[in-house]
Structure 1
Amino acid sequence: MLKPKIFGARSKDPRQLSLDLGIAYLRLPSRPPSPPGPPTGRIEDPVFFAHLLAEGDAASVSDRIIDIRYQYGLQGRPRPPRVLHISLYAAGPYAKLSAETLARLKQGAETIRARPFKVTFDRVTSFERGGDMASAIVLLCSDGKDELTELHNAFGPALEKVGLRRNGSRLRFKPHLTLLYDRKVIPETPLDEPITITVRDFALIHSLYGHTQYDVLGRWPLNG
């Protein structure tokens, strides 16, 4: 197990929360109170499983963000390369997850088996969020979508086996890669040149709300 790492610049950007959390938090079955949870962490801080792009893949995507911003006349700040990721499964707010729950999240993650696979992003679009909130400008994929969905679907059973239950409903999984946020809305459009990355692992991430900063709580290779 790797030691926790913190990635990213301290730029204010709380908007990824709505994409990464999106579902109710996990909880243990009803029983006597468990030991106290982590001593720090705000209730807004989400914890989720995701694939963090490898350094080379992140650099390639970052270069394309510059092109996409220019092509569509976007003004939003690009996501920093070291926090570019594909969300896989949300656990809930950090402050609501006890130390025991976090340990079981890691225990469940260790049981997930899958082989590395490639993902080809071939479209760009906006995820509109209503109100005055800027839209997320995201990449969508065709090749690799099924593999990402299968990996997402593996988390539920794996976590149930270690005693974690879903508290509430969850949103439909739609694989995507967030590039930036912008007021301009982009209809789903094919990329001039698709972007292919390789998914070789996944991580459990504590996102420090409002700082574009990640604390990696654990990382697991795809070696099934």
Structure 2
Amino acid sequence: MDKRENILEAWIMVEHLSEGDIKLRDKMLKKLEIPKDRDYYSLLNEEMQGQNLSNDKGGIVLYFNTYPFSTVIQLLREKFNLSETYDEVSVGDKFSFALYFDKELKLQGDMTFFTASYYILQNNSIPQEKDFLNFEKENKENMNSIFACPEEEEYNAFFNKAFAKLLNQYSIQTEKSRMKVLKNLETDATNLHSFFVDDLEKAKSIKARNLECYLSGENESRINLNSKANTQDFNPGI
């Protein structure tokens, strides 16, 4: 892989690292607690009923295994021997993955969302875009398989078994997981991959002088506006 593609791959991963934010103090988020009777279907169904969910397009989203983003930052610092900076990046909380269910608690597989931060924590490495997409694709297919109910089986009982399998297979920590009722899955589901990623992927195959100059940093008319005295490129004239 050449330097140009390395730059674009790194940029793509930066975009992915901005995804998966969750505000744990959001009052609309409820902790996911394991019911004593392990009746997960009733737990989620009652949560939706308690929110007077009347819209047929409504449902519920579950955010699993949240963690401070600082955990990822620290891992990357240690892996690449990076020193801590004063202008630190946003260090809120992230979720590992999110599952969406409609009013009937049927998994909306197309909306299943895995974060790149979760991949990094799981594999202790930064993936290339194709590796991350394969990781997400395989896990989405696995989720669809877990919640694919046979026609002859009663759904409530099947859902409880499937949910228990999910908790075990993905080592879910329920105290670090949240649920949220959505009035409209189509409009309220905001966990999408950055639209910049598609543009950056296209840039890999585009040959244009402006793009080449931008990526290589070669621009004689560029003005250095760095006003930070403790950095290498500090411009005292600013």
TM range (shorter): under 0.3
Would you tell me which structure has more strand in proportion to its own residues?
A: 1
Would you tell me which structure has more helix in proportion to its own residues?
A: 2
Larger radius of gyration: 2
Calculate the TM-score normalised by the size of structure 1: 0.25
